[in-house]
Every structure is written in C-alpha cells, then in structure tokens.
Structure 1
C-alpha cells in the first residue's frame, strides 16, 4: 500500500490550466483499481492519495503521468505503507 503526497510547488497558480487532465488522471487511477481514496492536504497544501495493487516502480510511472506532476504544479512523494493493525471491519479489505 502507498500514500502519495502531491504537494504544491511554486507553480500552484497554474493548476487551473491542468485541472481537467488531473481529474481524468485521478479517474483512471480509480477505474484501474489502483486508488483507494484521494483528497486535499489542508490547508491548501496539495493532495493525497492512498494506492494499492501496484508495484512502486509502476506507481512512480503512473504518478509521472499526472499533468500536475508533468507541469511541476505539484511535487510527488510516494511513501510505502504496510498496515500491521486495523479495525476488525477492515479485515481483508486491502488484500
């Protein structure tokens, strides 16, 4: 499992130009079964994504396809996370 942080760069003001492409990229991540959830980093720091069912190398390549990353709107950071404890209702949810 991975946590992907997409922190705004100095080019944050250009985000609107690439928002539709970013949304399409997010949809592809969900449609492909890679993304579990996505949302904003507060306050207005960028975004965060939980991902699974993909290797680190493949995820790095996928993240590089995000127009926000490609146009230096955000700087990505990928953190690998291996849950060792979880609430009982989450058992088996993440494979």
Structure 2
C-alpha cells in the first residue's frame, strides 16, 4: 500500500483554481482501482491518498496530477507493508 501525501507549495487560492482538474484525476485513480481513500489534511495544507498497485505506475500517475503539473503541490510517496488490518480491510495487505 502507498500513502500519497501531497503538500501545497502555493496558496490555497491557487490550488482552488486547479481543484476541478485535480478531482477528475482523483476520480480516475479510483476508476483504475488504485485509490482506496482520500481527503484533505486538517488544517488545509494538502491532502492524503491511500493507494494500491505497482509503484512505478503510481509514481507515473502522481506525476500526471494537475496539481503537480501546475506546480501547486508536491508529493511524498511512502510504501507501507501492511500486515494487520481490521475486518473487511484485507485489500490493504501487501
């Protein structure tokens, strides 16, 4: 599993200008079966996506995020070898 932590490098107002394109990209990640959960950080300094899949494909997909392309946010990708989960969350195990 991967934790995709994005941090805004520009003001929220700049992120808002590209939010629609970013959210279309997020929806496509879910459609591909890669994204499991996502949301904003609190306070709003970026966001977090839980993802599964091939690391190279995830990295390439992250590079195509409009937030990255427009220089609004940077990502840190952390791979986690999940070994224990709550009932019903076996998809998180790697």
Q: Does 1:33 align with 2:40?
A: no
Q: How large is the RMSD of aligned CA atoms in angstroms?
A: 1.5
Partner of 1:93: 91
Between the aligned partners of 2:89 and 2:6, the Cα distance in structure 1 is 28
Partner of 2:43: 43
Unaligned segments of structure 1, at least 5 residues? none
1:58, distance to aligned residue in structure 2 (A): 0.9
Return closer, same or farther for 1:91/1:46 CA change in 2, 3 Å cut-off. closer
Conserved 8 A contact 1:12-1:74: no
For residues 56-71 of structure 1, the aligned pairs below 5 Å read 56-71=55-70
**TM-score normalised per structure 1:** 0.88
**TM-score normalised per structure 2:** 0.89
Q: Does 1:81 align with 2:83?
A: no
Number of aligned residue pairs: give it. Answer: 93
1:90, distance to aligned residue in structure 2 (A): 3.0
* SS class of match (1:85): coil
Deviations 1:32-52 (A, max 9, x none): 100000001111110000000
Between the aligned partners of 2:25 and 2:66, the Cα distance in structure 1 is 8
Between the aligned partners of 1:91 and 1:19, the Cα distance in structure 2 is 29
